[in-house]
């Protein structure tokens, strides 16, 4: 697998963030390989950093993801990374939780997100992050959200929010079509997008889609044919669309291997003109039970 400079479009790769849920726990719809092993984590992060990707997204709830990242960074003291972490508990002091993450990561995270709107809107959390910013324990703060209602409640209650993380992809274009991205941008909020491949659903074979997500088969087939006419796969169309939107600062991608990341860096060297995106946006799929992975029935 090629290293520095092999992939053409570093400008777009600078928008990418390596998601690390699968570094600390079993994650992803197929997740055939379970947790990503240590040496594969290093291979993924080395390839990423060599091609302009310099940010990681982690959380205290991702198993031992923070420690795994810390072990890697210990061996790469010269490497430059921007680390986003998330907390979900209001039990412990915010500053103590940030210090705990910094210890595990062996570096101080730059950004702290609440893992839910409920925690973020809690007065205790707001006081805690204001104090942490005053003491320069953290640079940016914000929240990871799921939908329009949460965005409205957060922007009303906390106008000074630095960062919001949201789910979006070429099947789930709701927040874009409804102008939420433009509104957040106008409020000066930095937008991070996750679920670029709908947690891996875009890679499932038709048989599995038919069995588990039959309602989405028709819109997915429409999008696959729009992508194919442009010489792209569904996942490639989704990544190119997300990285083309000026409102979006960062796109978080989950990968299980260096090869999977290599494929995305390859994708960024490809082109799709806006007409293809406009055609894809006409699909307008709305089924929350499919678009929100936390609603998926668990497979026994």
Q: Which of 70, 109, 142, 200 binds ligand NAP (CB under 6 A)?
A: 200
Residue selected from 252, 268, 272, 290 as contacting ligand NAP according to rule CB under 6 A: 252
Q: How far is the CB of 135 from ligand NAP (least distance, A)?
A: 25
Are the beta carbons of 126 and 158 closer than 8 angstroms?
A: yes
* Token pair for 126: 């707001």
Interaction between residue 1 and ligand NAP (CB under 6 A): no
Q: Which stretch binds ligand NAP (CB under 6 A): 20-28, 89-97, 176-184, 281-289?
A: 20-28
Mark the segment that binds ligand NAP (CB under 6 A) among 19-27, 97-105, 208-216, 240-248: 19-27
Number of residues that bind ligand NAP (CB under 6 A): 29
Interface residue with ligand NAP, options 57, 162, 190, 236 (CB under 6 A): 57
3-state class (DSSP) for residue 190:
strand
Cβ neighbours of residue 77 closer than 8 Å, sequence gap 6 or more: none
State yes or no: residue 263 binds ligand NAP (CB under 6 A): yes
Neighbour-count burial of 94, counting CB atoms closer than 10 A to its CB (0-12 exposed, 13-18 middle, 19+ buried)? buried
Instruction: Select the residue interacting with ligand NAP from 13, 49, 144, 173 (CB under 6 A).
Output: 144
Q: Does 267 bind ligand NAP (CB under 6 A)?
A: no
Sole binder of ligand NAP in the list 16, 21, 55, 272 (CB under 6 A)? 21
Decide: is 197 part of the binding site for ligand NAP (CB under 6 A).
Answer: yes
Dihedral of CA 34/39/43/44: which sign?
A: positive
- What would the two tokens of residue 206 be? 């038709």
Instruction: Quote the least distance from Cβ 119 to ligand NAP, whole Å.
Output: 12
DSSP 6-41: -SS-HHHHTTEEEE-HHHHS--SSS-TT-SPPHHHH
Under rule CB under 6 A, residue 7 binds ligand NAP: no
Of 20, 11, 17, which Cα lies nearest the Cα of 163?
Answer: 17
CB-based contact 285:291 (threshold 8 Å): yes
What minimum distance in Å lies between the beta carbon of 78 and ligand NAP? 24
- Cα gap 252→15, rounded to integer Å: 8
Which 8-state DSSP code applies to residue 50?
Answer: H
Closer residue to ligand NAP in complex, CB, 227/275: 227
Q: How far apart are the C-alpha atoms of 5 and 123, rounded to whole Å?
A: 47
Among 256, 265, 276, 285, binds ligand NAP (CB under 6 A): 256
**Residues in the site for ligand NAP, rule: CB under 6 A?**
19-22, 27-31, 57, 86, 115, 144, 165, 194-200, 203, 252-256, 260, 263
């Amino acid at each position: 697998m090629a290293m520095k400079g092999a992939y053409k479009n570093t400008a777009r790769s600078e928008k990418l963030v390596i998601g690390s849920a699968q570094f600390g726990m079993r994650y992803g719809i197929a997740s055939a390989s379970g947790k990503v092993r240590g040496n594969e984590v290093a291979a993924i992060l080395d390839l990423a950093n060599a091609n302009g990707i310099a940010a990681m997204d982690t959380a205290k709830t991702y198993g031992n993801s923070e420690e795994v990242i810390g072990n890697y960074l210990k061996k790469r003291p010269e490497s430059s990374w921007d680390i986003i972490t998330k907390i979900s508990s209001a039990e412990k002091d915010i500053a103590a939780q940030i210090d705990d993450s910094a210890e595990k990561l062996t570096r101080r995270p730059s950004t702290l997100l609440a893992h839910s709107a409920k925690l973020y809107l809690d007065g205790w959390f707001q006081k805690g992050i204001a104090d942490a910013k005053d003491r320069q324990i953290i640079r940016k703060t914000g929240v990871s959200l799921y939908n329009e209602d949460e965005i409205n409640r957060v922007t009303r209650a906390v106008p000074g929010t630095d960062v919001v993380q949201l789910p979006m992809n070429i099947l789930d274009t709701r927040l874009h079509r409804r102008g939420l991205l433009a509104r957040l941008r106008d409020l000066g909020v930095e937008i991070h997008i996750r679920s670029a491949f709908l947690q891996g659903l875009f890679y499932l074979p038709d048989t599995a889609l038919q069995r588990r997500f039959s309602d989405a088969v028709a819109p997915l087939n429409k999008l696959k044919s729009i992508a194919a006419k442009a010489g792209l796969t569904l996942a490639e169309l989704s990544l190119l669309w997300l990285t083309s939107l000026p409102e979006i600062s960062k796109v978080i991608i989950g990968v299980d291997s260096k090869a999977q990341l290599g494929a995305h860096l390859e994708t960024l060297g490809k082109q799709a003109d806006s007409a293809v995106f406009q055609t894809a946006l006409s699909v307008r799929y709305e089924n929350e039970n499919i678009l929100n992975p936390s609603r998926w029935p668990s497979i026994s």
